[in-house]
Amino acid sequence: MAINLYDYAHTAADRGWGSGWPRCSGGSDLATVTADRSGTRVSVRKGLSVLVDTLLDWTERPDGGNYLLKPGQCGGYNCRPIAGTRTPSNHSWAVAVDLNWNDNPYTSTGRHTIPTQVAAVWKHYGFAWGGDYKGARKDWMHFEFMGTPADAVEKSRLALTHLAAPGGAQPSPPAGGALARGSSGPVVAAMQARLNRDYPAYSTLTVDGAFGAATEAVVREFQRRAGLAEDGVAGPATLAALHLA
């Protein structure tokens, strides 16, 4: 389903992310992601980690958003209400991030440094921007995901395809390398997303870039059905069969 970026009538709980403040169920489902260029780290839901990681890396890349993040001025998960209220903040579900809060304060002055292309790309991948708030005060630093966990899988796949590498190339597996239990990173995430997209009858993996038992089971099932050696290791033959090699 299409994501409505301006549907503030529904909460992240309505969209399937569990409970927010004061019972922050997402607190036990977190991943820390790192923006490559600055090393800035934020914690978000595991199901959003590939998408946020890809967006943060793109935001900083000179051929992307070219907007450098500042460690210590960015955040994700925070189990709290919206300041001065008893309404849960989207940060309490770990589906929101704040970028460079000293430069992009919650203010009615219009002062901020978020480039137009950065706001546009985050919005394209399902994040509402606080700079679009209707009221006089804008939350310039704030981006929150407005989709469901299933939307996050789809947006992760699109972001990996279109944003992950310079020129929009698909991330390619390590030359001669194989992915196996314990492997991690964007290539594993691309494989998980590809399995979910093409084989939804038996692949409903979390696209988190971590090759664990669930991913291994799906790889085995894929290999069995494809007539490949059923070893649970995604080597060159398996990756080629998935059109990832």
User: Which residues of this protein are in contact with Zn ion, per CB under 5 A?
Assistant: 98, 142
Helices (H), 131-232: 149-162, 186-198, 213-226
Q: Which is nearer to Zn ion, 76 or 147 (CB)?
A: 76
Q: Which is nearer to Zn ion, 70 or 220 (CB)?
A: 70
Closest CA to 49 of 208, 205, 178: 208
At 120, phi and psi to the nearest 5?
A: -65, -40
In the numeric block, the tokens 């971590």 are attached to 210
| Residue 206 CB neighbour total at 10 angstroms | 22
CB of 121 to Zn ion, least distance (A): 18
Q: In whole angstroms, what is the distance from residue 49 CA to residue 32 CA?
A: 8
Q: Which is nearer to Zn ion, 58 or 77 (CB)?
A: 77
Q: Is the peptide bond before 22 cis (omega within 30 degrees of 0)?
A: yes
CB of 156 to Zn ion, least distance (A): 21
Q: Which is nearer to Zn ion, 142 or 155 (CB)?
A: 142
Residue 111 makes CB contacts below 8 A (sequence gap 6+) with: 105, 140
Closest CA to 90 of 15, 159, 154: 15
Q: Which is nearer to Zn ion, 109 or 172 (CB)?
A: 109
CB of 32 to Zn ion, least distance (A): 17
Q: Is 30 helix (H, G, I), strand (E, B) or coil?
A: strand
CB of 104 to Zn ion, least distance (A): 10
Half-sphere exposure of 181 (CA within 13 A, CB side): 9
Q: In whole angstroms, what is the distance from residue 19 CA to residue 162 CA?
A: 32
Q: Which is nearer to Zn ion, 53 or 98 (CB)?
A: 98
Residue number of the CB closest to Zn ion reads 142
